[in-house]
Structures are given as structure tokens and as C-alpha cells.
Structure 1
Amino acid sequence: MNWITVEVFDGATSAAAWARVWHDRLIEAAVTGGAVFWDEHEHRWGVVLEFTFDDEPRRDAFREAPVLLAALDAAPDPVNGVLVYPHRGGGAGSRQPRRPRPVLGSGAVELPLPGTDDDVVLPCTAWPGDPASARPVG
């Protein structure tokens, strides 16, 4: 299977409206050119059209088809809003918004620097703050 994916992003107009205008002509050109499967997905950022061909030459011929080139030129943003690539794609556009991620480091203040009393071992019976019950390490 040889896939070709066309992603069109929203621009001055909606990519969904662009897809409604060009849908029938693109499907006709793909099927006439040997497409065995096609699919389309609408996302909040635009649309994705996927076409499958039995062999690479047919896929490449569809990529250069005048109707596809005209459709891409008529996209809402033909310079920065069109992606065409030779494999299945579509991004990970989720229909549910993502939850915010937790702040790394939990947003806490930095730890204090080690002091001079950090190498003192306190036995279980020692009282914190009582230097007489503490003994140095080593």
C-alpha cells in the first residue's frame, strides 16, 4: 500500500469549507488514478485527506494531478497551511483538550545548601538541638 496524505490547515477561511468544495473532484481524480481507499478527518485545526494506491507510480501521478495542484493552490493558506507527504499521517489532533501538565519540581523553592552540622550523626536517643548528645562521624 502506498499512502499519500494531504493536510490543510485553517487560514483566512475554514479548511473544512475548502474540503467541502474540493472533495468530489479530489475523490474522482484519486479513484480515476487508481486509488483503492480514501479517508478524511476533520480536526479543530483543519482537515486531513488520506489516499491509498496499489503502487508508487500511481500515487506519484496523483500527487502531480492538475486537480490536486489546483486544490492546494486554493487552500486557505497555500504557503504555510498545506502539507503533502507520502505516508499515512494526520497528526494527533485529539477531540478532547489536554489537561494542563503539573509544574515540574512542584513549583517549590530551592533546597538550602548543606551546613556544617550535616555530617553529625544523631543517635536515636539524642535530642535535636542538644550538642552534648551528638557525636561526629568518623
Structure 2
Amino acid sequence: MDHWLSIEVGNGAFPASAWKRAHGDDLIEAALTNGARHWMWHDHRQGVVLEIEFSSEEQRDRFRHLPAVLAPLDAVPDPENALFVYPGRGGGSGSRVPHRPRPRPSSGAGALPEPKEELTMGLAQAEPPPVRF
């Protein structure tokens, strides 16, 4: 059974690609020396994703808590908003078609007011009496 770990790093104070160049080799070396079977990088406009496959959950979890992994994770461009580490495959396993930005739900999402019905009483119209000569 495959046990994947995904590390997604988004752009922030500097591009995630610069973080990949600075720390990518160290992460791969730590993964390979701790039992990784496969690994792959995915570059996106929003950042980078590293997917690593291990033979067991124990290897994956041990790798995740190594100092050689924690130090690069502390150095990502935006650690509070653009760092995601989770078991399983991540950003590169989806569709090959780029996602188009969608309009924000707040733009025009408010309900339009209901049209008001005009109430009529159904009274007869008053007409002047016919004029006779």
C-alpha cells in the first residue's frame, strides 16, 4: 500500500520556487535516506507541491518530524497562510486543465428584492352621466 505525504508551499514574501531551489535537495535527501520510494515536484502559479511516497505510515510520520524537514518548513514564504502538509497526494494529482478563477460569492450574490404586487380594490370606475340635449 502506498503512503503519500504532500507538502504544498504557496507564494508569499518571496516566490515558492525560490524556497524549492534553496531547500528542495535537502528535503529529497532526507526523504530518500528515510525510506521514500518515489517523489515528484509540481510547480504551479500559486506555488509548489512536493509529493513523497513511503512504504509505511511509520516511515512517513518519522520523516515528517525530522529536524531536516522541520527547518525548511519553518522557512517557507508564508508559513501561516500558504503551507499545507498532509497525508495523501496533493496538488499534482488532479486535473491537467488549469482552474479558472471564479467570481467571489460576495459579488452580486445578494438576493434581489421581490417585486411588489399592486393591489386593486376592484371598485367600479365613476363615469360622468351622459349629456342629453
> Could you tell me the TM-score, scaled by structure 1's length?
0.68
Q: Which region of structure 1 is more displaced relative to structure 2, 64-73 or 89-98?
A: 89-98
% of aligned pairs identical? 50
Tell me which residue corresponds to 2:29: 28
Q: Which protein has the bigger helix share? A: 1
Distance 2:55 2:73 in 1: 23
> Could you tell me the TM-score, scaled by structure 2's length?
0.71
Are the equivalent residues in 2 in contact too, given 1:43–1:95 (CA < 8 A)?
no
Counterparts of residues 29-44 of structure 1 (less than 5 Å): 29-44=30-45
CA-based RMSD: 3.0
Q: Name the SS of the counterpart of 1:7 in structure 2.
A: strand
Q: Look up the equivalent residue of 2:55 and give its one-letter code.
A: D
Can you give the 5+ residue segments of structure 2 that lack an aligned partner in the other structure?
118-133
Q: Hey, which bits of structure 1, 4+ residues long, moved more than 6 A?
A: 110-113
Distance 1:88 1:99 in 2: 24
Deviation at 1:95, TM superposition (A): 3.8
Tell me which residue corresponds to 1:63: 64
Q: Look up the equivalent residue of 1:15 and give its one-letter code.
A: A
Structure 2 residue 47 is the aligned partner of structure 1 residue 46: yes
Deviation at 1:98, TM superposition (A): 5.4
What is the CA deviation profile of residues 70-101 of structure 1, one whole-angstrom value per residue up to 9, with x for unaligned ones?
Answer: 0010000112210000111117585464588x
Q: Look up the equivalent residue of 2:81 and give its one-letter code.
A: N
Aligned residues: 116
Tell me which residue corresponds to 2:16: 15
Deviation at 1:68, TM superposition (A): 1.0
Distance 2:19 2:58 in 1: 27
Can you give the 5+ residue segments of structure 1 that lack an aligned partner in the other structure?
105-109, 114-138
Q: Look up the equivalent residue of 1:57 and give its one-letter code.
A: E
